[in-house]
Amino acid sequence: MNAKGVSLLENLIAVIILVLILFGLVGIFVAGRKHIGHSRSLVAASELGRYYLDPLQMQVRSDQWAGNCLGTRNGTLCQSDPLLLPQNINGILYTPVYVVSDAPGSTTTRKVKLTVTWTEPN
C-alpha cells in the first residue's frame, strides 16, 4: 500500500466531520443570541419596574393615597395612574399592572405588586 497521498474518501470524510462541527457551533451561537435578547428584556422590565414604583415610594403617607394607586385596596387593580402607560423600548411593548392590597395583619399598610408583561420577538 502506498501512503504518499490522501484519498478522495478521506477528504470527503474530513469535510463531513467539519460541516457537522460547524453546524453545532452555529446552533450554539443562535441559542446564545436568543438568551442575550431575553436577558436584555428582563433588564429593561426590571428597570421599568423601578421607574413605575419610585413615584409610589415618594407618596407613602396615608394622607397622600387618594391621588395614587395606594388609595385602592383589597387586590384592586390600579390603572388610573398616568405613569402606568405602556412603554416601547427597542420595539418591545412593556405593559405594567399594579395590584394593591392590605398588608397582612394591617389596614394602614399597603402591599403593592407590580407585574410588567411583554412579548419577545422571535
Quick check: 49 pLDDT over 60? yes
- On whether residue 122 sits in a domain, the answer given is no
38-52, 70-84, 92-106: segment of lowest average pLDDT: 70-84
- Dihedral-angle region of residue 31 (phi above 0 means left; psi in -120 to 50 means alpha; beta otherwise): alpha
Question: Does residue 87 lie in a domain region?
Answer: yes
Domain count of the fold of the chain: 1
Q: Is residue 58 part of a domain?
A: yes
Residue 1 scores a pLDDT above 60? no
Query: Does the predicted model carry a pTM greater than 0.85?
Result: no
Residue 41 is part of which domain span?
Answer: 8-117
The answer, yes or no, to whether residue 57 has pLDDT greater than 80, is: no
Flag whether pLDDT at 82 surpasses 90: no
Is residue 112's pLDDT more than 60?
yes
Question: What is the per-residue pLDDT for 28?
Answer: 94
Alpha-carbon distance 121 to 90, whole Å? 11
Task: Give residue 32's pLDDT band: very low, low, confident or very high (50, 70, 90).
Answer: very high
